[in-house]
Amino acid sequence: MQQLQQPFQLERHNLSVSGSVGIVLSSLGYENAADILRDVDVAMYQAKRLGRSSYVLLTNEMRARALDRIELEGDLQQGIAQQEFDLDYQPIIHLTTGKIVGFEALLRWHSPKRGLVSPSQFVPLAEETGLIDILDRWALQMACRQLDTWQQQFGEQFQVDMNVNLSAARLHRSNLLEQVECICDQIAGARSALKLEITESCLLENNSSALAMLESLNRAGIRLCIDDFGTGYSSLSRLHSFPVHTLKIDRAFVARLDHSRSGNKLVEAIVAMSRALGLEIVAEGIETIDQLRTLQNLGCELVQGFLFSPPLSATEATELLAQQYVLGLPTPVNLNRN
């Protein structure tokens, strides 16, 4: 590394380079070169994360983590090929009317080998590897098909939004708009009911291609929702210039409502800001009656959480809707469910 850092002359410029070094020990008992290169790569990337001119010696723990990841990636690829995915639907409730105004579609991976795998385990890896493109597109398609089925079953009275999560990385795919348009053209009513949930990172500075995509989606009549609001590092000054329709208060804020006055103040401020900007606001992760009462007092009307309902299978969600749309007349669901 010292040798690499020696300044050198390139034409008229004085330059120096730095290196990141990954090291593995042959005492780990390697049998082929490919395995050594794979592991040394892991150590080298770890070194890069430490900053310029670092070296890392691979530990057994790092190696085990890397192998787990490789195995998970293989299983995920296979899971996609074998169609092991499904969607659950969690209701979003309007507190004044008690009606279901929307559902959030949530990916579920039923792996024969691993059991039910949570999206928080596989979505980050899918994002890193690009597999999220296939998964998100599939989720969008399935959710819109479900919407179509409900629209046909419950008729003209049916007015329920469908929230679908979209990885922020997808905003940089030039064909995203085309895919969304294509699905909306196939399924009548999808365009007006669909809401795409994107995490705050899309609001980051210097993210002009993401902004351009959000604007195109907005022009195409698709509403956009900032998910997990308050947990990321969005620039508030940019929020008003983004074509966003809804903010979802992250459940970390809702969880603090029970315990602290400062927690209340934060949510109060988010609600006030949303009002000032003309944004709809949804609180997620409501688990207790106290949280519900506080949110009601703070003027937050749209809620989602285990207090009302966990994410449901399509069949269970259909049963819940049937209660609301019995004989085609919308009737409030029982808020004290669970």
The contact set with ligand C2E (CB under 6 A) reads 90, 106-107, 118-120, 123, 132, 136, 139, 165-167, 197, 227-228, 251, 284-287, 304-306, 311
CB of residue 199 to Mg ion, shortest distance in Å: 8
CB of residue 218 to ligand C2E, shortest distance in Å: 19
- 205 class by beta-carbon count within 10 Å (0-12 exposed, 13-18 middle, 19+ buried): exposed
278: left (phi over 0), alpha (psi -120 to 50) or beta: left
CB of residue 225 to Mg ion, shortest distance in Å: 8
To 5 degrees, how large is the angle CA 291–CA 295–CA 296?
115
* 3-state SS string for 122-177: HHHHHHHHCCHHHHHHHHHHHHHHHHHHHHHHHHHHCCCEEEEECCHHHHHCCCHH
CB of residue 222 to ligand C2E, shortest distance in Å: 16
User: For ligand C2E, which is the closer residue by CB, 106 or 271?
Assistant: 106
Rounded Cα gap, residues 285 and 168, in angstroms: 21
Among 227, 271, 294, 317, binds Mg ion (CB under 5 A): 227
- Site size toward Mg ion, by CB under 5 A: 4
Binding string, residues 150-169; x marks residues near Mg ion by CB under 5 A: ---------------x----
User: For Mg ion, which is the closer residue by CB, 120 or 315?
Assistant: 120
Reported as half-sphere exposure (CB side, CA atoms, 13 A), residue 170 has a value of: 27
User: For ligand C2E, which is the closer residue by CB, 46 or 167?
Assistant: 167
311 binds, among Mg ion, ligand C2E, none (CB under 5 to 8 A by kind): ligand C2E
> Is 197 a binder of Mg ion (CB under 5 A)?
yes
Rounded Cα gap, residues 274 and 262, in angstroms: 18
Partners of 23 in beta bridges: 57
Q: Are 128 and 78 in contact (CB under 8 A)?
A: no
168 binds, among ligand C2E, Mg ion, none (CB under 5 to 8 A by kind): none
Which residue, among 146, 134, 143, 144, has the nearest Cα to 80 in the 3D structure?
A: 134
User: For Mg ion, which is the closer residue by CB, 46 or 165?
Assistant: 165
Stretch that binds Mg ion, among 16-24, 179-187, 194-202, 271-279 (CB under 5 A): 194-202
139 binds, among Mg ion, ligand C2E, none (CB under 5 to 8 A by kind): ligand C2E
CB of residue 158 to Mg ion, shortest distance in Å: 22
244 binds, among ligand C2E, Mg ion, none (CB under 5 to 8 A by kind): none
Partners of 106 in beta bridges: 88
* Crossing angle (nearest 10°) for helices 261-277 and 289-297: 50
98 binds, among Mg ion, ligand C2E, none (CB under 5 to 8 A by kind): none
User: For ligand C2E, which is the closer residue by CB, 22 or 305?
Assistant: 305
Rounded Cα gap, residues 115 and 8, in angstroms: 56
Which residue, among 170, 174, 162, has the nearest Cα to 202 in the 3D structure?
A: 170
User: For ligand C2E, which is the closer residue by CB, 39 or 227?
Assistant: 227
CB of residue 129 to ligand C2E, shortest distance in Å: 13
CB of residue 311 to ligand C2E, shortest distance in Å: 5
Rounded Cα gap, residues 135 and 127, in angstroms: 10
CB of residue 282 to Mg ion, shortest distance in Å: 9
Q: Contact positions toward Mg ion, by CB under 5 A?
A: 165, 197, 227-228
